[in-house]
Amino acid sequence: MKLYSDEELSEILDKPIFHQIGSVADRMGMECYVVGGYVRDLFLQRPSDDIDVVVVGSGIEVASELKKELGRKAHLSVFRNFGTAQVKMDDQEVEFVGARRESYQRDSRKPIVEDGTLEDDLNRRDFTINAMAICLNAKHFGKLVDPFNGLADLEDGIIATPLDPDITFSDDPLRMMRCIRFATQLDFQIEDVTFTALERMADRIKIVSAERISVELNKIIMSPHPSKGFVDLQRSGLLNFILPELAALDIVEQRNGRAHKNNFYHTLEVLENVVRKQSESASHSFQSSTPNAQLWLRWGALLHDIGKTKTKRWDNTIGWTFHNHNIVGANMTTQLFRRLKLPMGAEMHYVEKLVDLHMRPQAIADDIVTDSAVRRLLNDAGDDIDDLMTLCEADITSKNEVKKKIFLENFRMVREKLTDLKEKDYKRLLQPVIDGNEIMQLFNLKPSREVGTLKQCLKDAVLDNRVPNEHDALMQLLMTKARQMGLIDK
């Protein structure tokens, strides 16, 4: 962060667009200010091309006049229902709004809006660091307006609300998610009074749409250290309302002196390991075909153990068990995506696959790494195999360094075999050259269980490398199996 005087701010804002906006506002007799995130990021020295401008008067009128001045190179969009307008020019976007005051009804996030002063407009903002403004009018160009000491909070790394946090969060409960999101992205601390309000108001999040919650969750997940956000979500009680499956992992049970680990904090450690691996940008042989796989791999890490709460059992011989938690977790993933209105297409299937298969590489690495086991893993994981391996390596959080070293060495062997398969054109090797259509024609069958059984017989043989993936060898095996099934005479 860097502190600037008003004179230095004038120099930083000495760009044609800001002077043009100020000039138009001066001609129309209106005050105008650049506000919010642009001002915050200016002091944080973070690049920002999205500019928000508050006009004490009509933001739409100023935007319309600016468009006339800029001519054809600019594009104007007006949103009269919201009292806003947008001017786009090249890669620059400027949002205009009239200064306003807002009031809310308890059962809605939609405010009742009235014209207001700059003070009214800054009062309604979510956090002090977002409630700063810089004047664009010629007379006071570059002058900072900071009624809530947002600059001091920026310097101290504090997230606090301008007014009473109970009112701020009650009026718009999405601000609770934004509070934790900003603290996570910026690595700031939430002020004690503000955090206490989060705890009191957590149940208000129920009136916020799933889509808006998911947007904030994704931003937290894509932060440099997302675990910080999820700890705050859990501590505040918000996680119980938005991701109860994850919140339920924050428990340790003990019986006969034997306790299982806290799977909530284990999950966050796995998530951080995935983030670290992604930042290292290690290039591997396989690439996922899932859009924005970096985000969804982090979701896979976050959800990989959610089935453990439902599958936890006590066994007097071996202690706590979580048998089939991967299968249960995969089913829960589908339900969770539907509830949060997350994408139900390739993204959901990708995360579901990661949750379902996350135990497989570890099971292979825990035993002798055979070609057959690796072939089957690659067949089931497909193009997502490398992301699955990344998740499984991240899942090794044991404090036993000897055990950890053995697992990682075995995972290295699994990766080597996967690379060998890819070099040999694994898709061709893993798919039998005799397909279902040829089987149906050969035995005069319609789609049926018999066809599936024959196909699986061939596939198992190819995956186990018992026969070469060649037509004659597979045909001989097919005929033998068909005779056993009574489809042809013995």
Q: How confident is the model at residue 283 (pLDDT cuts 50, 70, 90)?
A: very low
Residue 290, pLDDT > 90, answer no
What is the average pLDDT score of the chain?
A: 89
Q: Specify the pLDDT at position 230.
A: 98
The packing angle between helices 346-357 and 293-303, to 10°, is: 40
Query: Tens digits of per-residue pLDDT, 332-341?
Result: 999 999 999 9
Instruction: Check pLDDT > 80 for residue 93.
Output: yes
Q: What is the mean pLDDT of residues 101-119?
A: 69
Residue 484: pLDDT band (50, 70, 90) is confident
pLDDT at 269 over 80: yes
Give the pLDDT mean for 290-298.
89
* CA distance linking residue 481 with residue 211, whole number of Å: 52
Q: How large is the average pLDDT for residues 382-394? A: 91
Q: What is the mean pLDDT of residues 392-399?
A: 88
- Are the C-beta atoms of residues 407 and 365 closer than 8 Å to each other? yes
And the tokens for 67? 């468009």
pTM listed for this prediction: 0.84
The CA-based angle 400-324-410, given to 5 degrees, is: 40
Residue 285 has a pLDDT of 43
Biggest CA–CA distance in the chain, Å, is 100
